[in-house]
Structure 1
């Protein structure tokens, strides 16, 4: 096992306090810090603290020891997952991610066109899918997945105005996935002049609904906040179609290919396939490719499942159908000093998100402070972890999926 040094991504939507506090650095940070990356993505790989070697080079030097022979063969000597801490101070863009087949096709197409992988108009910098799971560390607000269309019609009726009526009726006449596709496509392609006349009426209706303490107050407040932050953006209308979620600490949602979503506020652990492919649909000044977004979107609808994971002894594991990753959590309450055996035989990244712990194995032990992480090769024997001190402690363990179904949903 090796301590890691990890990169912090300074996106504008990030926090100037959350990641700095997590890492024990001065607060506030000089600029917004949005994501702490732990993994082997070429864009910002982790490095071994002891030698300075990047995790990519470490794996390439001995893939069978680092990943295990089966995983090395399966994933082409590449770590298939990326672990992040997200510090969401302002809403992220409305976005979806492609399936494996779509990613491979899109990557090959853009490579053939000679689009630089870091170009602003590039949709597919990676040839792989990007399913993801996000687990809340604090109260975490998100939009995710298309709401049941009957509920959406009820919401739209609650803020109905003459200018909105034709669009409400479009979904009301066909309250299913096809109706959602038709309405979303209409809204996302509206001319700017139409948006600028439609949105003020919507905002006025949302204010009225909130003053009346209506059923959809939270959704209306989100629309108003997004409208203030992204004036004239079609993504504000699209937000009306999505489930509005508030996750408590330890609660998680899984976002497979094609799921339209936007994170609004809070701190979370995110695990995802080792890819940076994003198709944006609004709420951003960045590149929005509407035809490509519509090609990957999944318009199946309904409530967004929220999970607290499955108990496996002291571990709580958040299982999905993503072959690329699996996330588990171990939590100790005050005065609980129990030593816990960690899984072994698979490559792992372990991050401490609360308190501090000691991880020990046959070759020694490592103290893991809050915000710090370690790399555990697949060849390492079983490790045990215990909390330090008397307060609460929590770690997350990221590894490859335990099952082996092919991951391709679209």
Structure 2
């Protein structure tokens, strides 16, 4: 067991206060802090503090002795690498519209780009590894997101409610084929609109959004959140086709403790809030707008799933006196939340490599005769070779999250 220091990732959409406040650092931070990575991703591995108080890359530690750190069964199944990546995520502004490939699509795409000789660090590279990237986000604060295509029938209702004549051909397209094929046709049409056509259509749609919000009167208005989101996105990304695409997606609000699981092909964008995110250890992203970065439309369309059912909000199940488990089908990861009142203790059996992250309060973690004080924003690495551990809350209530390998199918 060792203390683990996360790697700060600074992106323009991040917050200058959220992560710094949670970790007890001075605010505002010098740069927007978007993510804090706790894992062994080659792009930015976390650092383990060894017995001599010297920081060592978790990636290097795993390379030295994969069986001891990960366990023989994990190495046999996933290779000598940690299969998951745990993050703190703080979105002050929206992230790009994006989707992730399936395992088969990632393997094929990676091999194709390798054969073409596209450098791994190229701005037009889509596949930086041959792995898929299912992910789960759990809200620490109120968390806003777009995720998955809304049913075609409901989207027709939204577009008709805007009363924009310029939208009539597109409404007719979807109304005439109100299924996944119709959604694919409309999304493809919008994301490939010539610049001149896009610059003419988007302002008319935004005018319709403003009118919708201003003239509701006492009548119930079902799409206020969706319309406001389109207006907000247009302020940040004027003239971007992603503003139109946002009107096709489910608008979701998570309260603290609620989660959202996103599988391959799900078009999504996190809008605002702070959360815990865990994912398969991959960096494969296909973008669809709301970004100055590379957008490969044909490749995005190849991976998108237009026929997936709605994205349900995930509630954790209580599986012990202090543990709430988020059940997903991902074999690479599992996430649990622990809630302990002051002075309470919970014991956890060995279960392979684990990362514990404290998000409120402070606790003492004991394992194999060693103990570490785990304060808010702090984490520990527990290799597969460690025995059972005990978490004991301090003088106040504690919330902590545990990242581990995916559960057996019967436990998911």
Task: Give the 5 Å matches for 1:75-224.
Answer: 75-213=78-216, 214-224=221-231
In 2, Cα distance between equivalents of 1:356 and 1:144 = 34
Q: For residues 142-180 of structure 1, what are the alpha-carbon distances to aligned partners after superposition, in whole Å with 9 as ceiling and x for unaligned?
A: 000111111111111111311111001111111111111
In 2, Cα distance between equivalents of 1:386 and 1:299 = 46
Unmatched tracts of structure 1, length 5 or more: 406-410
In 1, Cα distance between equivalents of 2:215 and 2:349 = 53
In 2, Cα distance between equivalents of 1:52 and 1:36 = 16
What's the counterpart of residue 408 of structure 1? none
CA contact (8 A) 2:329 2:409 kept: no
What's the counterpart of residue 38 of structure 2? 38
What's the counterpart of residue 378 of structure 1? 384
In 1, Cα distance between equivalents of 2:374 and 2:81 = 25
Deviation at 1:341, TM superposition (A): 1.4
Aligned-pair Cα RMSD in Å = 1.2
In 1, Cα distance between equivalents of 2:213 and 2:372 = 52
What's the counterpart of residue 12 of structure 2? 12
In structure 1, the residue corresponding to 2:90 is in which secondary structure? Answer: strand
What's the counterpart of residue 402 of structure 2? 397
In 2, Cα distance between equivalents of 1:352 and 1:78 = 24
In 2, Cα distance between equivalents of 1:290 and 1:144 = 18
Q: Which of 243, 263, 269 matches 1:262?
A: 269
Deviation at 1:403, TM superposition (A): 2.2
In 1, Cα distance between equivalents of 2:375 and 2:345 = 16
What's the counterpart of residue 336 of structure 2? 328
Deviation at 1:365, TM superposition (A): 0.8
CA contact (8 A) 1:147 1:301 kept: no
Deviation at 1:343, TM superposition (A): 4.0
Deviation at 1:342, TM superposition (A): 2.3
Deviation at 1:53, TM superposition (A): 1.9
* Runs of 4+ with deviation above 4 angstroms: none
CA contact (8 A) 2:349 2:387 kept: no
In 2, Cα distance between equivalents of 1:45 and 1:26 = 23
In 2, Cα distance between equivalents of 1:8 and 1:369 = 18
What's the counterpart of residue 246 of structure 1? 253
1:225 aligns with 2:232: yes
In 1, Cα distance between equivalents of 2:357 and 2:215 = 45
Greater shift in the superposed pair: 223-232 or 303-312: 303-312
CA contact (8 A) 1:6 1:46 kept: yes
In 1, Cα distance between equivalents of 2:308 and 2:224 = 21
> TM-score, normalised on structure 2?
0.95
Between the two proteins, the alignment pairs up a number of residues equal to 402
Unmatched tracts of structure 2, length 5 or more: none
In 2, Cα distance between equivalents of 1:60 and 1:402 = 24
